[in-house]
Copies of this chain bind each other. A is one copy, B any other.
Amino acid sequence: MTRRVTSLQVAELAGVSQSAVSRVFSGASASPATVDKVKKAAETLGYRPNVLARAMITGKSRIIGLVVAYLDNQFYPEALERLSNALQEKGYHILIFTVPNATDGVDKVVQDLMDHQVEGIIAASVSMSSSLAETCARAGIPVVLFNRGQPGSGLSSVTSANIKGGRMATQALIDAGHSRIAHIAGWDGSLTGRERREGFEAAMADADMIPFAIVDGMYNRDIAAQSARQLMSGDLRPDAIFVGNDHMAFAVMDAVRGMGFQIPQDVSIIGYDDVPLASWPAYDLTTVRQPVNRMVEATVTTLLSAINDTDPYAETIEIEGPLIQRGSSRPPKGQMQ
């Protein structure tokens, strides 16, 4: 285990000053002759600049902190992968922090991130206390909320158009001729969950229909399954359920099938997210697509421009996605499928 090679050693071997070496590797101007000498010396010594030292002096760590809670929901690994790739391409890297749930421990973790001098923070589906948001703002560290808005926090956010998405899903069920439509909502403590429910309620109201039921699924498989069983066990049952996200919808489908019901003959199910699993034949879930690639793109550009701008302002970006009609819900009336 040899000591790390430093720019000074390269300088000595190349017969130039340490500054020259630094300039060659940081892209500053240098004469072709020096560039050549330095590169050659660096090659033989196996020199690579110390990113930490560079970060220290420039104040730019080129590290983005990512806070994430639910990696079991397939939506997030996919987003994580794309975020990582997109940021890597821009020369940034991801320091990842997992938190047990959406609210708990976020503060401590973000403090930890700030200690690491991250240049920006992406909070995926977790909320931040307003005092913490202020702390970040004061430290000049931009925050982008991914797939979770937080109005009034002054934080940028990138989400899908949840109200509209909720409307679309619900409208599809109405158009299919369903009359007893229930909603197993996403967690009421999250804007995402509330907005999708809002879309559901609006679509129902527009059609002069009253919801069969609305229950909070808490973005939790077990709770969603339990709710579904309860809904389907009465004498009067829903003939369609709009579920707050795919992750819960799979559990709902499992539960409903487990009771002997056919999907979509006995009950239509629609989810939200369009995770890869939704298209697998075992579920074949009708769902509202969250265009993860465009959401990631928006997140990255928002974050990077906030990092570079002297005085960034909060952006609230909503991205629309289509309804993907699959086999878990009856097709709209008058449409051959």
Q: Which residues of A contact B (CB under 8 A)?
A: 1-2, 4, 46, 48-53, 55-56, 61, 63, 66, 71-72, 74, 76-78, 80-81, 84-85, 88, 93-98, 111-112, 114-117, 135, 138-140, 250-251, 253-254, 257-258, 276-277, 280-283
Q: Is the CB of A98 within 8 A of B74?
A: no
Q: Is the CB of A77 within 8 A of B88?
A: no
Q: In the complex, what distance in Å separates the CA atom of A95 from the CA atom of B139?
A: 22
The residue of chain B having its C-beta at the shortest distance from the C-beta of A141 within the complex is B1
The distance from the CB of A40 to the nearest CB of chain B, in whole angstroms, is: 19
The residue of chain B having its C-beta at the shortest distance from the C-beta of A250 within the complex is B280
Q: In the complex, what distance in Å separates the CA atom of A53 from the CA atom of B250?
A: 47
Contact partners of A51 in chain B: CB under 8 A: 115-117
Q: A49-B115, A51-B115, A77-B77 are in contact. Are A139 and B4 (CB under 8 A)?
A: yes
Q: In the complex, what distance in Å separates the CA atom of A179 from the CA atom of B49?
A: 61
Contact partners of A80 in chain B: CB under 8 A: 71, 77, 96
The residue of chain B having its C-beta at the shortest distance from the C-beta of A254 within the complex is B281
Q: Is the CB of B88 within 8 A of A78?
A: no
Q: In the complex, what distance in Å separates the CA atom of A244 from the CA atom of B4?
A: 42
Contact partners of A66 in chain B: CB under 8 A: 96
Q: Which of B2, B53, B77, B93 contacts A71 (CB 8 A)?
A: B77
Q: In the complex, what distance in Å separates the CA atom of A84 from the CA atom of B325?
A: 37
Contact partners of A283 in chain B: CB under 8 A: 282
